[in-house]
Amino acid sequence: MPKPSLLEQLNYIAKEADSQLESAASEADIESWRVAYLGRQGRLTMLLRNLSSLPIDDRRVVGLEANRVKKLLEEKLNGRQQALKEAGYSRSLLEGGIDITLPGRPMAIGRLHPTTRILREILEAFTSMGFSVLEGPEVEWEHYNFDALNIPSEHPARDMWDTLWVDWADPSSQERNMLMRTHTSPMQARVMENNEPPIRVVVPGKCYRYEASDATHEWHFYQVEGLAVDTGITFADLKGTLYQFAKRIFGQDRQIRFRCDYFPFVEPGVDMSIDCFSCNGKGCRICKESGWIEILGAGMVHPNVLQGVGYDPKKYTGFAFGMGPERIAMLKYGIDDIRHFYTNDLRFLNQV
């Protein structure tokens, strides 16, 4: 039997070394620990030197145990060294820390004008339904702005569009009058004159009226006109097209409503309301307690307009609509005064 004291000593050393290593807090502590236990003069080394004094059988037993302890301590040493290194690295990284609450380096931010943004949104809704985007002149002949749209001169319907006339005398004998277009509708006649059906276009652009400005009226504004002409186009198609549009711009749950209205270039003529997205039709300030908000005028293209451009109204039918993008932007973005749009106060433009 080996001396119990030698194995006991071995165990004791292993336990002691373990706890000493735990409290080693620096590279230097670890080094002195290594010297104290595993060094040439270390306690484990010294103990192993005494092995030779044991009987051969005991020597094997104690020797195996001693090697196990040595290996264990060496592993622990490595682990401890690694942990200390990592802790030190982390500490050094933290020393290079910054105040992350300081603002970032400023980048120049540009924004599109709200009209450009809403126009893109509106046009996208229609191009996804197969409409092409076309544009026309803002300075227009009286003929396209009125006569071609079934609004002859001296017709009281002309009072619906107070007109800014351009100071221009026709050098030819045609007595043409030049004006600032009062709506985008003149493009209806221009498009049909230059194309054969089928037609499916939307026309964005600036329009002008002789009108005093207030919170909901501007003399200078945009419109988006729509026109679809082919064989077999019906009011139901107009309804479906505008329904899709309303949902896309104002949300999936929107309901639409048509009421009879008069525009000389459509028959039947209607205007379209959506149920109020603010109160869901219950009645609030935005919808003036009615639950509905008027957003556009529309109708089936008047046979006189079709005839005027040489289309056969018995063969072709079509629908047209027109809307004010500023009004839609005001509703959608909560803008309270249309005059903000074109006065370009950056305190307004920078917000939206």
Q: Tell me how far apart the terminal alpha carbons of the chain are, to the nearest angstrom.
A: 92
Given the structure tokens 């959608």, which residue do they identify? 332
Backbone torsions φ then ψ of 199, nearest 5 degrees: -125, 135
Quote the Cα angle for 337-343-346, to 5°: 95
Give bridge partners of residue 96 from the DSSP assignment: none
DSSP SS3 for 205: strand
Among 40, 108, 253, 336, binds another protein (CB under 8 A): 108
Q: Which residue has the tokens 């379209």?
A: 272
Residue 97 lies near another protein (rule: CB under 8 A): no
Residue 243, H or E segment: helix 235-250
Among 86, 165, 193, 280, contact with another protein (rule: CB under 8 A): 165
Stretch binding another protein (CB under 8 A), from 14-22, 23-31, 50-58, 263-271: 263-271
CB of 113 to another protein, least distance (A): 4
Chain-centroid distance of CA 31 in Å reads: 60
Torsion of CA 26, 32, 36, 37, to 10 degrees: 50
118, 270, 287, 293: residue in contact with another protein (rule CB under 8 A): 270
The reply to whether 128 sits near another protein by the rule CB under 8 A is no
Query: Min. distance of Cβ 239 from another protein in angstroms?
Result: 4
What whole-number distance in Å separates Cα of residue 347 and Cα of residue 350?
6
Among 52, 96, 102, 252, binds another protein (CB under 8 A): 102
Stretch that binds another protein, among 9-17, 32-40, 90-98, 136-144 (CB under 8 A): 136-144
Mind telling me the catalytic residues? 161, 183, 209, 223, 266, 320
Residue 279 interacts with another protein (CB under 8 A): yes or no: no
Nearest approach, Cβ of 299 to another protein (angstroms)?
9
Decide if 325 contacts 224 (C-beta within 8 A). yes
CA distance 202 to 218: 22
The tokens for 153 are 């001169």
Q: Which residues contact 80 (CB under 8 A, 6 or more apart)?
A: 21, 24, 30
Omega cis (within 30) before 268: yes
**Does residue 26 belong to the site contacting another protein (CB under 8 A)?**
no
Q: Is 141 in the site for another protein (CB under 8 A)?
A: yes
> Number of residues in contact with another protein, rule: CB under 8 A?
90
Nearest to another protein of 270, 331 (CB atom): 270
- Residue closest to 33 by CA, chosen among 24, 25, 41, 45: 24
Indicate which single residue of 13, 189, 249, 300 sits in contact with another protein (rule: CB under 8 A).
300
Instruction: Quote the least distance from Cβ 316 to another protein, whole Å.
Output: 10
140 touching another protein, by CB under 8 A = yes
Contact flag: residue 337 with another protein (CB under 8 A): no
Rule CB under 8 A: which of 200-239 touch another protein?
200-201, 206, 208, 210, 212, 219-220, 228, 230-237, 239
Residue matched to tokens 């079709």:
306
How far is 160 from 173, CA to CA, in rounded Å?
29
Q: Does 130 engage in binding with another protein (CB under 8 A)?
A: yes
Q: Applying CB under 8 A, which part among 21-29, 76-84, 267-275, 278-286 lies near another protein?
A: 267-275
Q: Tell me the two tokens of residue 238.
A: 């107009």
253: tokens are: 């749950």
User: According to CB under 8 A, which one of 259, 280, 312, 351 is a site residue for another protein?
Assistant: 259
Piece of 56-64, 77-85, 258-266, 331-339 that binds another protein (CB under 8 A): 258-266
Does position 339 interact with another protein (CB under 8 A)? The reply is no
By the rule CB under 8 A, 317 interacts with another protein: yes
Q: Would you count residue 327 as binding another protein (CB under 8 A)?
A: no
Is residue 100 a contact residue for another protein (CB under 8 A)? no
Asked if 137 touches another protein (CB under 8 A), the answer is yes
